[in-house]
Amino acid sequence: MHRYIGILGATGSIGQQALEIIAMHPERFKVGFLTAHKNAELLIQQALQFQPEKVVLTDKKAYETVKETLSAHAIEVLFGEEGLRKAIASSKIDLILVALVGFAGVLPTLYAIQQKKAIALANKEVLVVAGALVKEYLQHYQVPLLPVDSEHSAIYQCLVGEDKATVEKLVLTASGGPFRTFSKEALKKVTVQQALQHPNWQMGAKITVDSATLMNKALEVIEAYWLFDIPAHRIEVVIHPQSIVHSLVYFCDGSIKAQLGLPDMRVPIQYALGMAVRLPNQLPRYVFNGALTFEPPDLERFPSLNYAYEALERGGNYPCILNAANEIAVERFLKEEITFLDIYRLIEYCLNHVPYEQQCDIETLQQTDKETRIIAKQWKT
Ligand code: NAD
Ligand code: MG
């Protein structure tokens, strides 16, 4: 029996790698639907290769291009939020890979859970913003969620067969990004191009900048909190520049388990699409050669982790403010409107100026997200 997979964000870095994995296992996986924002050309290519039942575009012009090009094929071309809902709800779909980026993934993920689809989650911002709601939905609708993020996949794998009560702490590894060895002075002058040169991973622009500021690790601490139900003070971060050890779990008897491998997102993507069943593949293997090193994070040069622990302590809409402020800060940095270190200033400004709400439903979160974006766009250096 094939597992039918829907991919939200098929044209992105994770989406494309997921399709590579699906192509490696034609006996196991079929594509049910693919979605993209506006990359019509790539989505058409993917649709022709994988023959999904449906494709969805959220940009009107891209939608029209795809609709026209695929008119002779038995592929339904849909548009916008309505189209997304129709694709997500389609009865054939077994599992949905959420590979969107940012807040845009929140509503589709909640809807997919409501439709009782298993979730493979790459879009970490969904858990950062709406972790409490997502957990509530997963419990209510009895739906499994598998992490795609490499650190969380590693922890998930380390926890297989273990009693949660025996876990002492989780340790997320971080590469430290391209500026790991830069002084505070040097950080003042780094360029967009430098920030986009990640030493170990090829990823979308937003997460690459997040890796340079260490905001990515901050978001991942919050993600781990919701995924593994562990208090914030028992989630730690260690810098590991080689990105071979993907994360670690300490147990109550002094044992430490880790998951290792080359930095290749196709491995955790395959594990998630396989729903924690190990499938054989021919991907490159890691060969031990040279040192694996570890060092503590420097919170003075890279303050992001402080925001994460503060966000977990405060809860409510605070993580949502943090996420929206960061999304706009990264966007503005990429447009060269603000400098690298301004990213932290902008985030701190928003955390201090957007009204805090303790009780959050989805409407509150949407309101907070909107409000924060406005303030973040107006912020001046
Ligand atoms: P990306 O920018 O390469 O791709 C994003 C995808 O989402 C694209 O298909 C795009 O069309 C779609 N999209 C963007 N904005 C949209 C919107 N407003 N509405 C609908 N669709 C939209 O991003 P990525 O690097 O693949 O990352 C995806 C998610 O996975 C992020 O949350 C990221 O943090 C996480 N992640 C990525 C990697 C990686 O190696 N790339 C690793 C771990 C986690
Ligand atoms: Mg990660």
First-to-final CA distance of the chain:
57
List the domains of the chain with CATH numbers: 3-147 (3.40.50.720), 152-314 (no CATH)
What is the rounded CA–CA span in Å between residue 223 and residue 145? 12
Q: What does the pLDDT average to over 91-117? A: 98
For the segment 235-245, what is each residue's pLDDT rounded down to a tens digit?
999 999 999 99
For the segment 292-347, what is each residue's pLDDT rounded down to a tens digit?
999 999 999 999 999 999 999 999 999 999 999 999 999 999 999 999 999 999 99
Query: Which residues are near ligand 2, the ion (C-beta closer than 5 Å)?
Result: 149-151
* Residue nearest ligand 1's atom 39 by CA: 203
Mean pLDDT, all residues of the chain: 98
Taken as a whole, the chain contains a residue count of 381
Q: Which helix (H) or strand (E) holds 210?
A: helix 205-213
CA of 229 to the centre of ligand 2 (A): 18
Q: What does the pLDDT average to over 150-166? A: 98
Q: Is the CB of 263 under 6 A from ligand 1?
A: no
| Burial (CB count <10 Å: 0-12, 13-18, 19+), residue 111 | middle
CA of 205 to the centre of ligand 2 (A): 14
For the segment 218-254, what is each residue's pLDDT rounded down to a tens digit?
999 999 999 999 999 999 999 999 999 999 999 999 9
What is the rounded CA–CA span in Å between residue 257 and residue 62? 46
Q: Is the CB of 149 under 6 A from ligand 1?
A: yes
Kindly indicate the confidence band of residue 2, based on its pLDDT and cuts at 50, 70 and 90: very high
What Å distances lie between residue 269 and 219, 317, 360, 367, CA to CA? 19, 30, 31, 32
Say which residue the tokens 């590693």 belong to. 154
Instruction: Report which bound ligand comes closest to the CA of 323.
Output: 1
Q: Is the CB of 128 under 6 A from ligand 1?
A: no
Token pair for residue 12? Answer: 């992105």
Q: What Rg value do the Cα atoms of the chain yield, rounded?
A: 20
Q: What does the pLDDT average to over 166-170? A: 98
What is the rounded CA–CA span in Å between residue 16 and residue 97? 11
CA of 149 to the centre of ligand 2 (A): 5
Tell me what percent of the residues of the chain surpass a pLDDT of 70: 100
**23: closest CA among 221, 283, 223, 344?**
283
Query: Which phi and psi (to 5°) does residue 90 adopt?
Result: -60, 135
Q: Is the CB of 97 under 6 A from ligand 1?
A: no
Q: Is the CB of 120 under 6 A from ligand 1?
A: no
Whole-model pTM?
0.98
Cβ–Cβ < 8 Å for 364, 357: yes
Tell me what percent of the residues of the chain surpass a pLDDT of 90: 98
| Burial (CB count <10 Å: 0-12, 13-18, 19+), residue 380 | exposed
Amino acid (1-letter code) at residue 333? F
Say which residue the tokens 């409000």 belong to. 371
Residue 183 has pLDDT above 90, yes or no: yes
* Residue nearest ligand 1's atom 34 by CA: 207
**pLDDT number for residue 132:** 97
For the segment 123-146, what is each residue's pLDDT rounded down to a tens digit?
999 999 999 999 999 999 999 999
**pLDDT number for residue 381:** 86
